[in-house]
Amino acid sequence: MTKIWPYIRFSSDEQKHGDSRRRQRELVESFARRPEIVAEGSVIDDSLDLNDLGVSGYRGKNLLTGRFKAFLDAVEAGVVKPGDYLAVEALNRITRLDPMESLPIILSLIQEKGIRIAITSGSQIYKKGDDISSLYIAVGELQRGFKESQEKGVRVKEAWNSKKKRAADHGEIATSRVPLWLAVDVTKLESGTTKRTIREIDERVAVVREIFRLSDINIGAVATARILTDRGVPTFTRENARKNSNYGDFWQVTYIRKILANRAVLGHYQPMQWLEVDGKRSRVNHGAEIKYYFPQIISSELFDRVQLKKDSRKNEGQGNKGLKFSNLFTKMAFCSECGAVAHHVNKGKDPKKGGRYLVCYRAKYGSCAYKSWRYEKVESMILSYLAEADIKSIMRDDNKVDVLINERYKIESELVAVREMLENFRKDFKALNGRISNIERELAIENEARLIEFKSKLQSLDAEILDAIEQQKADIKQEVKSLQEMESVADENTVFEIRSKINARLKLVVDRIVLNFALQVAEVRFKNGVVRYIHEGGVFGNIMPPPTPEQSLEDLRQIEEWSKLSHDEKKSTWADSAFPIVPLKI
């Protein structure tokens, strides 16, 4: 008994709601009822589910990854046997590739595998042993399908180019497909034409702004996705999104990153086009970016700041923060003996052997002396100091520095934008095999010159600013106190956000923290060169620890004694020139 394998394909999703599928299916069933087919005892077999719905045949996608590829695999596996029918409405349902590419596939099925191809919209059946006239018919049908798709592609491309030009010249809405925090309203005018306007979806715009706010306080995409999911914030989906899927219930890290990098939040629209070079399709920029095409929902200053902070987090390497941002000193704390990073280690909740510690990374592998320091003690000690210290006086901040820092941010963001434009030019140049217009070449040369100029300006600013850093308006004192007040009662996401803010503030003022595990002394190096040595008993100035352990222990003994003194006794101690380590008032 031979089998009839129906293959149904159409190109666009819109056709799913039309008549194409029903028509193709009815043609298959009509073919199966033909007397000569019934006499053979041939029956329809749908077990391979050979339906490529919404899959274009113009570039052969169905032959590589679609259900027709499954049919070819079934032929190779012997599931589809010689003499079986492949039933299609027309040959162009199989492929719309150039006949030079598609004909070998058709001939292989017929001549090598013995498959009969039945054209259900007519009476043609291609089979092994046919004369040359059948080949001519097949080539003609394949050529017709290829030319139709080619001409349609040209018409669609011209229409899109016209829409993009009107968008650039007159601000017309080129497409109803907009970022998911926006919607397009269509109004029918009295003239019979339609007018499109773009509006904000308020609740989604609020979510995008929250994503940028979290990134601005140093919360990465992974944590942001978790926070939004935990809050029950609905994800963005289009009306035709997949149904009966849990995919939309959770915020995806990749989508958070796409939003943060999307210049559409600034109101800008970058037209794109698909180009094929050497058989490979690439999506490249098509013309200049159209400014303020969309409503702007994020300020340029915030967008630029977030891009720089993202790059900084990527370059520094952030590590796993856990649900409560367990280690405030990630990539900031180092071992005084070997210089390796101090790792946060959680040994569990056992009262005797458990707890959280900071340990030299190399010590974990036997390359440095294994000494640990209770994490809570280090954090409490350093934050207690910072909560009381006058950070601005330590950093010797002034208005001039603020102005210079803001100027540096502005130049650095412009430098990043120029680098991105040059990178896009290089990609387009490569994708198009050098076929770039003179205008684009001149723009690239101009951007190269701007890149050199910006680098020179940054060097000049760095020399002026010296080691001073940007000071944001938020006060680290208040944030430390908020953490101490709220950590025991707030939910995990709130604690994470507070601790993330503190981590960001620390990185603004602190260059590194060097931990002497043996002496339990933390050396805090601020970005302007000021150093403070912090011990549970007090805070001390720019005095290097004595060279001998005996002297260090003696100093610590005096520190311990000093910490127990009254305020007046401490003041008299400061005046005593014999006191070898001068404590600094917190």
One-character DSSP codes across 285-316: E-SS-BTTSSPP-S-HHHHHHHHHHHHHHHHH
Bridge partners for 194 per DSSP:
188
Confidence of residue 245 (pLDDT cuts 50, 70, 90): very low
Average pLDDT for 67-81? 90
pLDDT at 69: 86
pLDDT at 487: 56
Query: Which of 49-58, 344-353, 438-447, 485-494 is predicted least confidently?
Result: 485-494
Q: Which two tokens stand for residue 506?
A: 């620390």
Q: Which two tokens stand for residue 415?
A: 């430098």
Query: Which of 18-22, 225-229, 301-305 is predicted least confidently?
Result: 18-22
74-78, 413-417, 505-509, 568-572: range with highest mean pLDDT:
74-78
pLDDT at 33: 92
Q: Is the pLDDT of residue 209 over 80?
A: yes
* Residue 584 near residue 537 (C-beta atoms within 8 A): no
Confidence of residue 270 (pLDDT cuts 50, 70, 90): confident
* Residue 290 near residue 264 (C-beta atoms within 8 A): no
Confidence of residue 296 (pLDDT cuts 50, 70, 90): very high
Instruction: Kindly report, residue by residue over 149-164, the tens digit of the pLDDT.
Output: 555 655 655 555 565 5
* Residue 454 near residue 415 (C-beta atoms within 8 A): yes
Q: Which residue has the higher pLDDT, 55 or 575?
A: 55
pLDDT at 22: 86
Helices (H), 434-515: 438-465, 476-486, 492-509
Bridge partners for 313 per DSSP:
none
Query: Which of 276-285, 382-391, 500-509, 538-547 is predicted least confidently?
Result: 538-547
Q: Please write down the HEC assignment for all residues of 203-252.
A: HHHHHHHHHHHHHHCCCCHHHHHHHHHHHCCCCCCCCCCCCCCCHHHCCC
pLDDT at 446: 75
pLDDT at 439: 63
Q: Do domains 3-152 and 200-315 have the same CATH topology?
A: no
Long-range contacts made by residues 335-339, C-beta under 8 angstroms, separation at least 24? 335/360, 335/361, 335/362, 335/363, 335/368, 335/514, 335/515, 335/517, 336/514, 336/515, 336/516, 336/517, 336/523, 337/368, 337/369, 337/517, 338/362, 338/367, 338/368
With pLDDT > 90 as the criterion, what percentage of the chain qualifies? 14
Confidence of residue 388 (pLDDT cuts 50, 70, 90): low
pLDDT at 488: 56
pLDDT at 515: 92
Q: Which two tokens stand for residue 582?
A: 């001068």
* Residue 559 near residue 535 (C-beta atoms within 8 A): yes
pLDDT at 258: 93
Instruction: Kindly report, residue by residue over 327-336, the tens digit of the pLDDT.
Output: 888 888 999 8
Question: Residues 527-562, buried b or exposed e (16+ Cβ, 10 A)?
Answer: bbebebbbbbbbbbeeeebeeeeeebeebbebbeeb
Query: Which of 214, 207, 218, 472 lies closest to 321, judged by CA?
Result: 218
pLDDT at 583: 47
What is the residue-averaged pLDDT of the chain?
74
Q: Residue holding tokens 């400061």?
A: 574
Q: Is the pLDDT of residue 190 over 70?
A: yes
One-character DSSP codes across 155-222: HHHHHHHHHHHHHHHH-----S---TTEEEEEEE-TTS-EEEEEEE-HHHHHHHHHHHHHHHTT--HH
Instruction: Kindly report, residue by residue over 98-148, the tens digit of the pLDDT.
Output: 767 777 888 888 888 999 988 888 888 888 888 766 766 767 776 776 666
User: What's the pTM?
Assistant: 0.45
Q: How far apart are CA 313 and CA 317, in angstroms?
A: 6
128-142, 275-289, 297-311, 431-445: range with highest mean pLDDT:
297-311
pLDDT at 299: 92
pLDDT at 241: 43
84-88, 166-170, 286-290, 494-498: range with highest mean pLDDT:
84-88
Q: Is the pLDDT of residue 408 over 70?
A: no
Instruction: Kindly report, residue by residue over 9-57, the tens digit of the pLDDT.
Output: 887 655 555 678 888 899 999 999 999 989 888 999 999 998 888 776 5
CB-hemisphere CA count at 13 Å for 126?
Answer: 26
pLDDT at 136: 65
Q: How far apart are CA 324 and CA 329, in angstroms?
A: 13
Q: Which residue has the higher pLDDT, 13 or 415?
A: 415
Q: Is the pLDDT of residue 403 over 50?
A: yes
* Residue 414 near residue 395 (C-beta atoms within 8 A): no
Q: Is the pLDDT of residue 390 over 60?
A: no
Q: How far apart are CA 462 and CA 527, in angstroms?
A: 13
Q: How far apart are CA 109 and CA 76, in angstroms?
A: 10
Q: Which CATH architecture has domain 200-315?
A: Alpha-Beta Complex (3.90)
Q: How far apart are CA 123 and CA 115, in angstroms?
A: 16
With pLDDT > 70 as the criterion, what percentage of the chain qualifies? 63
Cα angle at 5 between 243 and 85, to 5 degrees? 160
pLDDT at 67: 86
* Residue 247 near residue 345 (C-beta atoms within 8 A): no
Long-range contacts made by residues 9-15, C-beta under 8 angstroms, separation at least 24? 9/51, 9/52, 9/53, 9/55, 9/57, 9/62, 9/66, 9/68, 9/93, 9/94, 10/52, 10/53, 10/54, 11/54, 11/55, 11/56, 11/57, 11/58, 12/54, 13/54, 13/240, 15/53, 15/54
Q: Which residue has the higher pLDDT, 98 or 269?
A: 269
Q: Which residue has the higher pLDDT, 446 or 162?
A: 446
Cβ count within 10 A of residue 107? 14
pLDDT at 265: 94
Q: How far apart are CA 90 and CA 105, in angstroms?
A: 15
pLDDT at 165: 62
For β-strands 43-44 and 3-6, DSSP reports them as: parallel
Alpha carbon 454 to chain centroid, angstroms:
27
Q: Hey, what CATH class is 3-152 in? A: alpha beta
Query: Which of 31-45, 203-217, 247-261, 312-326 is predicted least confidently?
Result: 312-326
Domain extents in the chain: 3-152, 200-315, 319-390+509-536, 399-465
